A = this chain, B = another copy of it.
Amino acid sequence: MNRLKEKILQSIGKKRWAIAEGYIPPDSTGEGPEFVSHETACILNAGGSDARISIMVFFKDREPAGPYRIAVPAQRTLHLRFNDLTDPEPIPLGTDYASVIESDVPVVVQHTRLDSRQAELGLLSTIAYGSDQ
């Protein structure tokens, strides 16, 4: 039992991830922060060491922004809203972007958008692209 629990709490994932899609809808409808249109990188750090993570954001016609630095403690998950990034600069709304996420320990990354520009929300999600290099 303890051995099983230990095994499940082993780290899982990769150290480099890419999300080629990115777009924060500029408008929202609905009440409260959970209905604000947003883009999320859901990061799972199932292992026993804290993860130090750097994110670079790429655009169509300007230099990349970043690195944005975040931490995900051991055995925790962080659902990071790109809307909340401010240092070194906020992500512009209504603009195509993409991101590369680099961690010093293995993590798993999933990409989700909630679009509430119209009265009824739209949702999308996909596993990100994980790389061994």
Contacts and interface: CB of A to CB of B under 8 A. Distances in A.
A21 B77 CA distance: 9
Contacts of A75: 58, 63-64
Interface in A109-133: 109-115, 117-131, 133
The complex is assembled from copies of this chain, and their number is: 4
Interface of A: 4-5, 7-10, 12-13, 16, 18-23, 30, 34, 40, 42-44, 46, 54, 56, 58-61, 63-64, 66-67, 75-79, 94, 96-98, 100, 102, 107-115, 117-131, 133
A123 B122 contact: yes
Nearest to A78: B60
Given A58-B75, A77-B98, A110-B19, A129 B12 contact: yes
Contact of A115 (B76, B123, B126): B123
Given A20-B107, A20-B127, A23-B79, 8 more contacts: A8-B66, A8-B100, A12-B131, A18-B46, A21-B125, A110-B111, A117-B121, A121-B122
A35 to B, nearest CB: 8
A112 to B, nearest CB: 5
B112 A123 contact: no
